[in-house]
């Protein structure tokens, strides 16, 4: 899975503010993890075919590579939330050993934390969470604590 996600990075990387060296890889792995959960097989989802659109019909996957803690948040960039309105945002955490990970190791757990609906994200507070490089991120994100997300088992599409 990691090798396939890495192979796709050059053709799918989005030119925007970069929060970490592995942003695109992290996003791909989140989509693959959700596809495995949703379809039973990550290969049934085509990464890149959805470029510029929701990751899955009505669903946007938000993935972070970070050591898992219950005080993490679903983050949605303010500019993204204004442009697109998927019905659901699903948060996945790739449980890395470090918040500054520069790669994803084989065996890393992908934790599907839950989901929020678009209106919940739009009404969530905004904050600049900064960059993993140690500076300001330069953009604000709506944030919803993962402990407040709806259980993924209740996602109805």
**Which mean pLDDT values do the consecutive 10-residue runs of the chain (157 residues) have?**
91 70 92 96 88 90 96 93 93 94 94 98 90 62 97 93
pLDDT at 52: 77
Q: Which helix (H) or strand (E) holds 111?
A: strand 110-117
pLDDT at 53: 85
Q: By the 8 A CB rule, do 75 and 62 touch?
A: yes
Quote the CA–CA distance of 121 and 143 in Å, as a whole number: 7
pLDDT at 10: 86
pLDDT at 134: 55
pLDDT at 68: 98
pLDDT at 57: 94
User: Is pTM beyond 0.75 here?
Assistant: yes
Q: By the 8 A CB rule, do 141 and 78 touch?
A: yes
pLDDT tens for each residue of 86-113: 999 999 999 999 988 999 999 999 999 9
**Which one, of 155, 145, 134, 148, lies nearest residue 34 by Cα?**
155
pLDDT at 49: 82
Burial (CB count <10 Å: 0-12, 13-18, 19+), residue 28: buried
Every domain of the chain and the residues it spans: 2-154
Tokens for 67, please give them.
Answer: 């050591």
Q: Which phi-psi region, left, alpha or beta, contains residue 42 (left: φ > 0; alpha: ψ -120 to 50)?
A: alpha
């Amino acid at each position: 899975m990691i090798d396939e996600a890495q192979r796709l990075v050059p053709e799918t990387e989005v030119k925007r503010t970069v929060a970490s060296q592995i942003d695109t890889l992290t996003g791909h792995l989140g989509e693959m993890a959700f596809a495995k959960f949703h379809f039973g097989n990550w290969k049934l989802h085509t990464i890149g075919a959805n470029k510029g659109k929701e990751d899955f019909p009505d669903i946007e996957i938000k993935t972070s590579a970070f050591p898992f803690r219950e005080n993490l948040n679903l983050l949605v960039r303010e500019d993204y939330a204004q442009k697109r309105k998927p019905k659901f945002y699903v948060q996945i955490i790739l449980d890395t050993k470090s918040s500054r990970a520069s790669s994803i190791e084989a065996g890393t757990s992908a934790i599907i934390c839950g989901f929020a609906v678009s209106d919940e994200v739009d009404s969530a507070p905004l904050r600049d969470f900064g960059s993993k490089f140690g500076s300001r991120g330069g953009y604000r994100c709506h944030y919803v604590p993962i402990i407040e997300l709806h259980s993924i088992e209740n996602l109805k599409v």
